[in-house]
Every structure is written in C-alpha cells, then in structure tokens.
Amino acid sequence: MRVIALASQKGGAGKTTLAGHIGVEAERCGYGPVVLIDTDPQGSLAEWWNAREAETPFYARTGLARLAEDIERLRAEGVKLVVIDTPPAITATIAEVVRLADLVVIPARPSPHDLRAVGATVELVERHGKPMIFVVSGATVRARITAEAVMALSQHGTVAPSIIHHRTDFAASMIDGRTVMELDPNCRSAGEIAQLWSYLDTRLSGRTHRTMLTAGLAAAGGAALAAS
C-alpha cells in the first residue's frame, strides 16, 4: 500500500480537487482499492465524496489520534492506495500526515503568493525526509507566469510534467461528486489528470521518469515564450 499526501500552506491551491481526481483516476487505472481521507476540518473532500454516486474510491473517517493505526488497518485489509487531503496551514495534523506518507504532492498556483508560501511546506517535508512533487495547478493556458512558476519550483524540487490548467469543468465536476474524467473522458482536463496520475504511479513504483519530466518542462517554457 502507498500513501499520497496533498499538502500546502496556501489555501486555494487545489489540494481537495487534486485529491479527489487522483483517487478516481487511480481506481480507473486499476490501482484500487483506493481510500480517501480528509484531515481538513472544513471537510471539503468528505462533502464531495458524500455527493458522489459511484462507490469508489472509498472513504475512511478517522482522526489525528488514530490516523497511523487506521492506515495500518487499511493496509491489512488490502487497500492499495490512500490519498490524504490536509488543512491549509502548517499544523500538527499536516506533520503527522507527512510522517506517514510515501509521497507528498504540493500543489501551487502560478502566483507570487503561492510560490512564496511553499517554503514552509517544503521545510516540513524535508524535515521528515519524504519525497515530494510539486504540481502547478490553476494555471492559465499559454501564460508566461506558468513557465516562470515551473522554473521557480524546480529550484526546490521535482515538478510534475502535467500542468493542471484552470477550467470550469473542474469546478462543475466537484459540485456533484464527480471528476472531469467522468464528465468527459476526452477533454483536456481529463488528459492532464491522466498524465499526472501516470507520473505519480511511476514515482510510487520507483521507476524513473526523466524523459517525461524534461518534455513537460520544455512544453511549459515553449508555451510561455509563444505567448510573450
């Protein structure tokens, strides 16, 4: 079993949206059983799951005091992947989730405020010696700042090759417990999520992904230069 934690000090970075989409895409790709856990007091991921008609991914209700114990119970029950959403602040909850994670995904929107906010999250993850991946989310298509964000984040760690762009289908899907893949599996947003999960799967499996990462960074830079 593998544990992915979505963590970011900055609110509105896209943690909940990515957590739900990663969980669903992993199930769609045969990586299940997948279990979602929401440690954010706002409970946005839990609300999304409650509105969902599909039975999978599953959801586990837990708390900080028993999080480690419940993760071990899920492991014993044959769960293959746990995806954990966290609060938008550096708290004891995030520290415990990071400690239990196999991979930490740090979403960041391409804005100065978001980029400045990643420092505290990176410090926490490095303190626990966990691998981390940055995901650029909420990006504007062909915007120079997107490439600038990729380059800035790459100074601190690995950036996922799939940039998640701002589109209304993400918000529309989350309203009733679905994902963009379930609204339209052939849309661009669905393709971005599929590419992101493929990359995360590769990292969880311990395989290298150097070629795809390089191509993704080059594409981001090329798009920005074309728009300049």
Report all structural domains of the chain as residue ranges with CATH numbers, in order of start: 2-227 (3.40.50.300)
Least confident of 87-96, 167-176, 185-194: 87-96
User: How far apart, in Å, are the Cα atoms of 74 and each of 71, 79, 117, 182, 212?
Assistant: 5, 6, 32, 26, 32
Percent of the chain residues past pLDDT 70, beyond the cut: 90
Average pLDDT across the chain, whole number = 89
Using pLDDT thresholds of 50, 70 and 90, give the confidence band for residue 29.
very high
Please tell me the distance from the alpha carbon of residue 164 to that of residue 183, in angstroms, as a whole number: 16
* DSSP class of 165: B
Give the pLDDT mean for 201-220: 57
Flag whether pLDDT at 182 surpasses 60: yes
Q: Where are the alpha helices (DSSP H) in 128-187?
A: 144-154, 168-175, 180-183
Flag whether pLDDT at 116 surpasses 80: yes
Q: Residue 105: what pLDDT?
A: 98
Q: Residue 227: what pLDDT?
A: 32
Using pLDDT thresholds of 50, 70 and 90, give the confidence band for residue 222.
very low
Q: Residue 125: what pLDDT?
A: 95
